[in-house]
Amino acid sequence: MNKLITSTYYFKVMLLSLFYLITQNAVAKNTIEYENINEIKSIGSSLLIYEDESNALGIEEVLSKKFISTKNQVPNLGISESTFWIKFSIKNLTNQPQLMLNLALPTLDNLIFYYPNSNTNNYTSINAGEQLPFYDRKYKDPDYLFDLYIQKEKTETYYLKISSKEAIQLPISVGSKSVILNQVKKKDILSGSYFGLMMVMILYNLFIYFSVKDKSYVYYVVYIILILLTQTSLQGYPFQYLWPNHPKVAQNSLFIFPSLVGIASMVFMNVFLKVKFYYKTLFNLSFLLSIPYIVSIFFALFQSYKISFIIMEVNAMIVSIYMLITTIKIVKRGYQPAKYFLVAWVIFLSGVIIYILKDFEVLPFNNFTRYTMQIGSAIETILLSFALAARINIYKKEKEESQQKTVEVLKENEKIIRDQNIVLEQKVEERTTELNLTLSDLKEAQSQLVDAEKMSSLGQLTAGIAHEINNPINFVSSNIAPLRQDIEDVNAIIEKCEELKNVDNIEEKLKEIDALKKELDFGYLKTELSTIIDGIEDGAKRTTEIVSGLRNFSRLDEGELKKADINEGLASTLVLIKNKLNGIKVSKSFGDIPPIECNPGKINQLAMNLIDNAIYAIKERGIENGLIDLITESNNKTILLTIKDNGVGIANDIKNKLFDPFFTTKDVGEGTGLGLSIVRNIIENHNGKITVNSEVNVGTEMIVEIPIKRETDGEN
């Protein structure tokens, strides 16, 4: 029995010893030996990984879990909703006890670093990741840097707890603090060079836009800015410099900016390659392909990152193929700038493909594959800037060709005109008389156009003036016959008196003369002659007044500026237009205004047109108590002429057209449509202004304001 117990004991000891040896070999195999303080050692292949699908384990529970080793230099954990625990042991063979760990993946959402605490024999943690404000970090760098304190020949074991909505890769390295920080500094210099290059391209293209005003440059600048934000977000720089206190923005930026880049790239391509002109169907397709990007942004904002990422990646692949096919088709159409775009886009896509192949571990993770998208985007940006510059030369060439064609057309037209002139000159000789007559008619028509409304107004006044003049003229003409008869009677008496020279019987002749006087009623004859002459004189005076009023109104002989009394002009206008009033009452309120420097004839024409419109508006309304108010007043610099009526008024929808040439509300044949247009021109030529206040079926008020002294040398 004792032998059996002894045998069992030795068997257990043997099994424990074997397990210890196996465990020690496994630990030794995954232990990282750091030997040279001047080098940085990548430790990815020595990491041990445990996937916590429950996302609930703590460090105490994980210590007893079985970790799986990885052989990859940069382990790729992909996109997962699990939490990953990373275990690694480092043996320090150098004299430098302070080392540094660098996890160069700025896009991690949650990261906790556990290091052994020699005082408590437990692990102490440091929280990091994009879920925390950037300035909470000890080392202000997008990479995650942690201090390691390991004495010479000692081995320490560390743990990392990682979870993220983006793809998780583990480019982890260890080295002395100075060497790691120097590596970080070099990385910052390279990234700064990329940033500087992109900023130069932005400023360059903005400068070109302000020079040529081509909207393609604006779209391109927006595209470059979004590319810059996307690429630098992968390196964590926007989180460091733009929104360090907004972790949510940093987490969402990797989903929002790439989607916006996809939309901006299609918009820029449409403008730059004139896709709508060449292929309208492909142009419309770009709007449909923008929808998934918008949906991806929507899911990202609601923290459905996995769905957002899948939609974005699938649509990005489709958009890349779409843009490539579109560019190739336009290149085949012979559009030269499309060749530059094709080369630039292929280079950028190559960088994207290499970057993706690195994520799928087809290509190794190194500085080239890691920064290949930045390199591709930088080359693309430069090439597209050259393409835009080349397009300016194309436009210049097209413009020169267009100008050349224009010159040729002008030369051809000149030849045609020259040939036509020869023919016309031959006909001119045959039709000189007819052309002279036509020229005279044209000059007359030109004169009528220059003063069209004035002539039109005077034409409308012809009937009234004829009526006014007809009364005194009729009075004169009707008295001519009685005057002639009375003169004949007087001549008869005079002839009887002349017979006294040659007769002896004077008494008898005197009796005959007295008898003739009685027969002719000589006393009445004298009275009638005086009455007739007074009547003719009165008719002549009335005719003279009308003619004087007409001349004072028209002022056809006055083309130069002179000082004139507006009240006097209005009075003359009313005399001439009296016949058209036809029962309309005119209320005059003429103020004590000074003479103004003006063209009197033009001012009278202005008043005539406005009064004539007021008369027409009152008659259109069909009221019996028509009233026109004429008011003149002045201030220190201007005179105000107000013409107010209670006519039909002006509708709001035609107020803007009121002063347009040939616009009229009158029936065909009643108006030329030039009246108010000429009124406006007269007012503008006198540096004045007109205000119209009107209400339908209430009336209209026209207020004309004209400077007392003109500031210009003369009329335009």
- What whole-number distance in Å separates Cα of residue 75 and Cα of residue 66? 18
Cα atoms in the 13 Å half-sphere on the side-chain side of 693:
8
Phi/psi at 697 (nearest 5 deg)?
A: 65, 20
Dist. CA 126–CA 128, nearest whole Å: 7
The mean pLDDT value of the chain amounts to 79
pLDDT band with cut points at 50, 70 and 90 for residue 145: very high
The helix/strand/coil state of 674 is coil
What CATH number is attached to the domain comprising 644? 3.30.565.10
Q: How many residues does the chain have?
A: 716
pLDDT at 6 over 60: no
Between the alpha carbon of residue 530 and those of residues 443, 473, 524, 526, 537, the distances in Å are 51, 18, 10, 6, 10
Each as own residue / partner, the long-range contacts of residues 352-358 (CB below 8 Å, 24 or more positions apart, any chain) are 352/320, 352/376
Q: 443: pLDDT confidence band, cut at 50, 70 and 90?
A: low
- pLDDT the model gives residue 8: 42
Q: How confident is the model at residue 681 (pLDDT cuts 50, 70, 90)?
A: confident
**What is the rounded CA–CA span in Å between residue 184 and residue 143?**
8
> What's the pLDDT band for 9 if we cut at 50, 70, 90?
very low
Complete DSSP assignment for 135-198: GGSSS-SSSEEEEEE--TT-EEEEEEEEE-SS-EE--EEEEEHHHHHHHHHHHHHHHHHHHHHH
Residue 655 pLDDT grade (very low, low, confident, very high; cuts 50, 70, 90): confident
What is the rounded distance in angstroms from the CA atom of residue 676 to the CA atom of residue 683?
Answer: 10
pLDDT of 452 higher than 60: no
Q: Which of 503, 523, 554 is the last residue of a domain?
A: 554
Q: What's the token pair of residue 396?
A: 């210049």
C-alpha distances (whole Å) from 499 to each of 171, 510, 695 are 156, 10, 83
Residue 509 has pLDDT above 50, yes or no: yes
> What is the average per-residue pLDDT within 701-713?
81
- Per DSSP, 289 falls in state H
310 CB contacts (<8 Å, ≥6 apart)? none
Taking a C-beta distance cutoff of 8 angstroms, is the pair 606, 665 a contact? Answer: no
Which is it for the CA torsion 204, 205, 209, 214, positive or negative?
A: positive
Rounded mean pLDDT of 633-653? Answer: 88
Q: Which of 90, 108, 109, 88 is nearest to 99 (CA)?
A: 90
pLDDT tens digits, 266-300: 998 888 888 998 999 999 999 999 999 999 999 98
Segment 230-258 mean pLDDT: 87
The token pair at 173 is 């390295």
More confident residue, 502 or 331: 331
Q: Regarding predicted confidence, which is higher, 592 or 549? A: 592
Position with higher pLDDT, 101 vs 349? 101
141 and 232 together in one domain: no
Question: DSSP readout, 519-543?
Answer: HHTHHHHHHHHHHHHHHHHHHHHHH
Residue 414: inside a domain, yes or no?
Answer: no
Both 571 and 511 in one domain: the answer is no
Q: Which two tokens stand for residue 198?
A: 């992109």
Q: Are residues 467 and 592 in the same domain?
A: no
Angle 372-430/215-235 helices, nearest 10 degrees? 180
Query: Average pLDDT of 56-83?
Result: 87
Task: Indicate if the alpha-carbon torsion angle 462, 447, 666, 675 is positive or negative.
Answer: negative
What is the residue whose two structure tokens read 């080359």? 379
Q: How confident is the model at residue 2 (pLDDT cuts 50, 70, 90)?
A: very low
Kindly report the pTM of this predicted structure. Answer: 0.52
Residue tagged 């009364």 (tokens): 471
Whole-angstrom distance, CA of residue 571 vs CA of residue 354: 95
In eight-state DSSP terms, residue 106 is T
Q: What is the Cα–Cα distance from 682 to 706, expressed in whole angstroms?
A: 10
Q: How far is residue 216's CA from residue 388's CA, in Å, rounded to a whole number?
A: 8
Q: Where are the alpha helices (DSSP H) in 582-669?
A: 600-621, 652-655
Which residues contact residue 713 at a Cβ distance below 8 angstroms, ignoring those fewer than 6 apart?
none
Same domain, 510 and 394: no
pLDDT confidence tier of residue 644, bands split at 50, 70 and 90: very high
The residue from 525, 554, 583 where one domain ends is 554
Phi, psi dihedrals of residue 494, rounded to the nearest 5°: -65, -40
Radius of gyration of the chain (CA): 53
The span from the first CA to the last CA of the chain, in angstroms, equals 138
pLDDT at position 76: 84
Tell me the CA distances in angstroms from 520 to 487, 490, 492, 495, 525, one per residue in order: 11, 9, 9, 14, 7
Q: How far apart are CA 532 and CA 510, in angstroms?
A: 29
Across the range 525-539, mean pLDDT stands at: 71
Looking at 507, 537, 554, the residue that finishes a domain is 554
Top pLDDT among 114 and 343 is at 114
125 and 220 fall within a common domain: no
Domain that residue 647 falls in: 563-707
- Give the least confident one: 337-351, 360-374, 487-501: 360-374
Residue 339 sits in the same domain as residue 251: yes
Residue 294 maps to a domain: yes
Domain of 79, CATH number, reads 2.60.40.2380
Average pLDDT rounded to a whole number, residues 701-711: 87
Q: Which tokens hold the place of 53?
A: 């699908």
Is residue 709 classed as helix, strand or coil in its secondary structure? Answer: coil
Spatial separation of the C-alpha atoms in residues 6 and 2, rounded to whole Å: 6
Residue 519 has pLDDT above 70, yes or no: yes
Establish if 682 belongs to a structural domain: yes
Q: Are residues 156 and 237 in the same domain?
A: no
pLDDT for residue 288: 93
Q: How many domains does the chain have?
A: 4
**Backbone dihedral angles phi then psi of residue 110, each to the nearest 5 degrees:** -130, 135
The 3-state DSSP class for residue 5 equals helix
6 assigned to some structural domain:
no
User: CB count, 10 Å around CB of 693?
Assistant: 12
541 shares its domain with 571: no
Higher pLDDT, 90 or 525: 90
Give 45's DSSP letter: G
Q: Are residues 120 and 174 in the same domain?
A: yes
Nearest Cα neighbor of 113 from 82, 151, 149, 165 is 149
- The pLDDT value recorded for residue 436 is 67
User: Is the sign of the CA dihedral 423, 428, 434, 439 positive or negative?
Assistant: positive
| pLDDT above 60 for 445 | no
| Contact call for residues 50 and 82 (beta carbons, < 8 A) | no
Residues 572 and 543 in one domain: no
Does residue 713 lie in a domain region?
Answer: no
Residue 190, domain member (yes or no): no
The pLDDT-based confidence of 538 (bands split at 50, 70, 90) is low
> What letters, b where the CB count within 10 A reaches 16 and e where it falls short, cover 240-259?
beeebeebebbbbbbbbbbb
Given a cut of 80, whether residue 522 has pLDDT beyond it is no
Lowest mean pLDDT among 22-26, 83-87, 270-274: 22-26
With both helix axes pointing from N to C terminus, report the angle between 566-581 and 522-554 in degrees, rounded to the nearest 10. Answer: 120
Supply angle C-alpha 251, 254, 258, rounded to 5: 155
Query: Contact 160/63 with Cβ under 8 angstroms?
Result: no
Q: Quote the percentage of the chain above a pLDDT of 90.
A: 19
Give the Cα separation of 497 and 520 in Å (integer).
Answer: 14
Q: How far apart are CA 221 and CA 533, in angstroms?
A: 97
Tell me: do 659 and 542 sit in the same domain.
no
**Does residue 194 lie in a domain region?**
no
* Residue 473 counted as domain residue: yes
Residues 493, 606, single domain; the answer is: no
